[in-house]
Structure 1
């Protein structure tokens, strides 16, 4: 073993001597020759120093190139993050616009539904609905918690500034610079409170669903990007909050459609009841509506409504409400007050034996016998057309009620109104008597529609129902 180590040491010594033999450098100056001796140890030291310098140069070059690649990679990552952030901001703006549009449409529908609230039948129809919407989801109660939004302009500008700094310096931003960039994204004077538009969408959703209204004092905690992992995650969180708002607005819309469906059924029932009442009077329904004049006291410039505000359900409900309003306007002119309080029917409308000639004749009205001096009242509001004596009728009053209706009151003892006078329903127009072509004290009452005589008896029989419709109390009964 000892011989082996000595052999290795001898071989190494020989290799070192061959690599670094003793050298001499000669200098000749003015004929004088000098020399400098380079020992093997000196040569080896210079070689080591030279190799060290070469190695340091290579290491520095590689490190510089590596740093450039790392900066380029960071710049690419920054561009990607900026692109993703801008995409999230665009999506956030879309969600905000969608929520506001939905809130405006639902608010218009809600106002339309509130117009129908005075009707007791419509209230009952809505109150009978279950606590689930049409899709089977339970209706929400309580306030909707909404996270506050980012300042979109500040966030976008901050991202652009951060990327510009990286391009200008061509180096990786330090941790302090990144913190500063995030700090620039905040408006320190106003810590990113929710905007009024977003509160409007959330407040309406809560109000329509019966929840508590969110006020500015009830705002969720303010947003600080420095306390979050990244601004993109913060924007994603706000985007999810808008999704919750839109989801609740969807439930509001389903709830409104459910109520509209109930109101449609109620309106259809109301229209059917009015048809039944009109049919009981013996008046053609189409003829009654055809004579309808435009509603008085209305007008103004025409401005078309946004068709997107009302869905098909609300359009159907609107059509039924308009149809019912036309019927109610027509019903308002129907004679519904019985002309006398105390009476009995002594002769019906139509064919009868004439009391004077004792032969068959057509009776043009209804004879209502009673006591002399019994007050005679207007069957409906209108204008007195005639108030004078006629041979067959005696003392007679004729009233035009509008929409094709007229009534005549004959054989009265005295008259209480004059021609051209406007009368109210149930107003006294005279007293029962036996003037004209009459056998004894009674009222001869005629009802005209579109210039033709109709039987007055159905008007007496349906008087209470017609009055209830005219006064808006029919659905309550």
Structure 2
């Protein structure tokens, strides 16, 4: 091995002399193989260094551009993740605010009485429908307040957001369950109204069409919740049965429609003329076809004749405004009271009128005295009830007097 190395050294790096001549004198310097090898190594290293440095200098711009592209890609990825996080946070807040609005709506329906029984389980034997108590809504309200009320404690990770979304979903399920149960109770109340209206000879649909817009202006409130097009009471009455019961779709939409209908019916019943206008009487002529007492010919009688003593007080059947007071042809001395929501009552053949046109009267207030003015054969009150410019049978109205007064009392106490 040494022989080969020695042979290579003497072949490529033999001893060399450098001659220098100056002023006729010749000198030389001997360069040994070792010096040549060391010098060659140094020269080779220098050439490599120059080559690498030149390459790096020439490729520096490309490397920097690649690094800048990588940094930009990382920045875009971060911005995308940040935007996604902000979107998730906004979705969580929007969901929480929507649940908060629904929570306030449920609180409004439940009321302030926290002593009422907790909502029973569905289809549980031996239980009756009960209104969910406000105390049962407090855990949801506490969570929503904690979530939507903090401005400096945003969810900072997708895991935290996922956890909050799960909790909000659970709250939404519970709210929907309460809404469905409240819907059942609301529909039961509406069914009671419907039975009374049917007994009085009224159509609930016609009542809602006539009275809906006016009754909806009565005392209402609560937070706004956008559930699509707002329905009038008449429109809510035409909803598909599955939408009305909340079996399909959003139960809050069905609950809102039913509550709107119930509010309209409540406003209608508030001034429904059901009180009998005289206390002591007998029916001398009923509603409908009859033999006219004067002409002895068959005729249509749009009211009832309530016979009694002269000067018997005649009272307003409900609160209202006097729309007519004076002489009115065959009616004689005549009073008409507008009770609102399409209802009007008429009082004819009065001996004396006790009110004036435009005067506001209350239920039970005396509007006149019984007499026999106009086309009459003796002292009596000719009494008519009109709804939406159509006459009703007052005797049917009298049959539901107790039911209507009971409903009025219940809702007056409930609103107080």
TM-score range, shorter chain: 0.5 to 0.7
Q: TM-score, normalised by structure 1?
A: 0.56
Distance 1:93 1:372, change over 3 A: same
Aligned partners of 1:437, 1:320: CA distance in 2, in Å? 49
Q: Deviations over 1:324-370 (max 9, x none)?
A: 444444444421223245x364556257899999999987415365x
Superposed displacement of residue 262, structure 1 = 3.4
Aligned partners of 2:69, 2:326: CA distance in 1, in Å? 102
Distance 1:330 1:18, change over 3 A: closer
Match in the other structure for 1:457? 395
Report whether the alignment pairs 1:85 with 2:25. no
Superposed displacement of residue 427, structure 1 = 1.3
Match in the other structure for 1:365? 304
Q: Contact 2:96–2:148 (CA<8 Å) still a contact in 1?
A: no
| SS of structure 2 residue aligned to 1:320 | helix
Q: Which runs of 5+ in 1 are unaligned?
A: 1-7, 131-138, 143-205, 223-234, 299-304
Aligned partners of 1:24, 1:389: CA distance in 2, in Å? 155
Greater Rg over alpha carbons, structure: 1
**Residues 341-352 of structure 1 mapped to structure 2, 5 A cutoff:** 341=279, 343=280, 345=282, 347=284, 349-350=286-287
Superposed displacement of residue 64, structure 1 = 8.6
Match in the other structure for 1:51? 41
Aligned partners of 2:322, 2:4: CA distance in 1, in Å? 147
Q: Contact 1:354–1:360 (CA<8 Å) still a contact in 2?
A: yes
Aligned partners of 2:77, 2:411: CA distance in 1, in Å? 62
Report whether the alignment pairs 1:425 with 2:394. no
Match in the other structure for 1:295? 214
Aligned partners of 1:386, 1:9: CA distance in 2, in Å? 141
Match in the other structure for 1:437? 377
Superposed displacement of residue 378, structure 1 = 0.9
| SS of structure 1 residue aligned to 2:378 | coil
Distance 1:354 1:76, change over 3 A: closer
Superposed displacement of residue 11, structure 1 = 8.3
Q: Which runs of 5+ in 2 are unaligned?
A: 123-135, 218-224, 231-248
Superposed displacement of residue 415, structure 1 = 4.5
Q: Contact 2:215–2:268 (CA<8 Å) still a contact in 1?
A: no
Q: Contact 1:384–1:421 (CA<8 Å) still a contact in 2?
A: yes
Superposed displacement of residue 279, structure 1 = 0.7
| SS of structure 2 residue aligned to 1:45 | helix
| SS of structure 2 residue aligned to 1:54 | helix
Match in the other structure for 1:192? none
**Residues 6-155 of structure 1 mapped to structure 2, 5 A cutoff:** 24-38=17-31, 42-55=32-45, 58=48, 77-103=70-96, 105-106=98-99, 109-110=102-103, 113=106, 116-117=109-110, 127-128=119-120
Aligned partners of 2:98, 2:144: CA distance in 1, in Å? 18
Superposed displacement of residue 280, structure 1 = 0.6
2:314 paired residue among 376, 380, 401: 376
Aligned partners of 2:4, 2:386: CA distance in 1, in Å? 144
Q: Deviations over 1:402-445 (max 9, x none)?
A: 45544344676755334543311121234567886337xx7554
